[in-house]
Amino acid sequence: MTASKPTRNAEADPPEAGPTLIEGGFELLVEGENPTLVRRFFTTQRHFIGLIFGGLRAHLRSLPRTRRRGFRFRLLVLLDLLGRPFLDREQAARPFPVQLRKRLETLGPTYIKLGQILSLREDILPAEITSELKNLLDRLPAVPYERFRELVSADLGRDVEQIFAWIEHQPVGSASIGQVQRARLHSGEEVILKLVKPGIRETLRKDVVLLRLLGFILQIFLARLQPKRVINEFCHYTLREVDLRIEADNAETFAANFKDQADIVFPKIYRDFTTENVLCMEFFDGFKPNSERAKSMPLEDKER
């Protein structure tokens, strides 16, 4: 989780070391002490201010020489100078879409989920932003293999060796809330294991309090847009995602509803190995709808 740090002077700080990678090229998820609500508020505020001034720096860099003159430009330069104490030099050197993605990643699951929603809004956001935010979908920092096994074992109440013949070392995907890895039961069935990442639930609950407070304030000034209702819905559905039993229920409901349609199948849920934090389901070898493999399918198969 993100912890609050003292304000850093970007000119005085050396560049940060690159991220630690685990198998599959995923960045290592760094577990830390869960911050208090007040500390979480100031951390979020710091990143929000940093994003504003980082965006200003990126805008000034993008201006052609012909526009680097006049009162407006000088005013922006002055604001940029005032914002230097809030900037990380490495962050500020990146394009604005990358700054946005990195800050959402740093703030954690709630804001990553918000970024995932924004990545789909190509109707209102520039392509360079939605394209960058698509990196938030399934390539986020992951817990290493041994830690994954430890968490699954603790949640299921027994050693993973008693349940699984093997668990693949490399994650299939790592999103804002969960991490997914392939495994095989001793009975020979190939399965997918989904794990709620450590500390995620506690962070979400603190963020929900802050977001609902924001919604209450925005409702006073922007009542026509109903920000309070929108934020409450976002918080409600995001909190539901950290209970994998709900996801299991939904999968079984859909399977029952479509049982008479042979072309539509849903993975089997293994209830004995499913809890609030762990979901065990049948493995299907498929591909994403926007993958090259999907695009090359015959029209007849696409329309099925």
Six token digits for residue 181: 């890895």
Buried b (16+ CB within 10 A) or exposed e, 63-84: eeeeeeeeeeeeebeeebeebe
Contact 37, 209 (CB under 8 A): yes
DSSP3 helix / strand / coil % (the chain, rounded to 5): 55, 10, 35
d(CA 171, CA 26): 8
Question: From its phi and psi, is residue 137 left (phi > 0), alpha (psi between -120 and 50) or beta?
Answer: alpha
- Terminal Cα distance for the chain, rounded: 43
- What are 27's strand-pairing partners? 21
Give the model confidence (pLDDT) of 198-223 as tens digits. Answer: 999 999 999 999 999 989 998 998 88
**Residue 284 burial by CB count (10 A; 0-12/13-18/19+): exposed, middle or buried?**
exposed
Asked if residue 2 has pLDDT above 50, the reply is no
Asked whether the beta carbons of 217 and 211 are under 8 A apart, the reply is: no
pLDDT digits (tens, 9 = 90+) for 121-177: 888 889 999 999 988 877 788 999 999 999 999 999 999 999 999 999 999 999 889
Q: How far apart are CA 271 and CA 261, in angstroms?
A: 24
212 vs 229: CA distance, rounded Å? 9
CA distance 91 to 254: 44
DSSP alpha helix (H) spans, 108-243: 109-119, 127-133, 145-156, 200-221, 227-240
- Read off the pLDDT of residues 237-280 as tens digits, 9 standing for 90 and up: 999 999 999 999 999 999 999 999 988 889 999 999 999 999 99
What is the amino acid identity at position 43? Answer: T
Position with higher pLDDT, 62 vs 156:
156
